[in-house]
Amino acid sequence: MVKTKMFTDLVNDIDPSVQINRWLDKHPDYIVMDVKLSTDFIEEDNQLCCTALVIYREYENV
C-alpha cells in the first residue's frame, strides 16, 4: 500500500532532508517512491517554509 508523510521546518527548524533521513533510519523497511518539495514565503513572519511530501511503501517479501 502506498502511504505519504509530510515533513516541514516550521515546527522545529530542522531541515526536512535531515528529518527524512532520521525517519528512514528508524524505518529501513520503507521504500521511498517519490518526494515532492515545496517552498513558501510566510509574510507574517518574513520567513521561508520548506515542506517535503514523501510518498513511500513498506517492503513486502512476496
Decide: pTM greater than 0.85: no
Where do we find the cell 516541514? 8
Instruction: Supply the Cα-derived Rg of the chain in whole angstroms.
Output: 14
Domain residue spans in the chain? Answer: 2-58
What is residue 34's predicted lDDT score, i.e. its pLDDT? Answer: 98
What is residue 24's predicted lDDT score, i.e. its pLDDT? Answer: 97
CA angle 20, 22, 31 (to 5 degrees): 55
Q: In 3D, which of 47, 48, 35 has the Cα closest to residue 7?
A: 35
What is residue 54's predicted lDDT score, i.e. its pLDDT? Answer: 98
Burial of 54 (0-12, 13-18, 19+ CB in 10 A): buried
**pLDDT in tens for each of the 62 residues of the chain?**
899 999 999 877 899 999 999 999 999 999 999 999 999 988 887 888 999 999 999 998 75
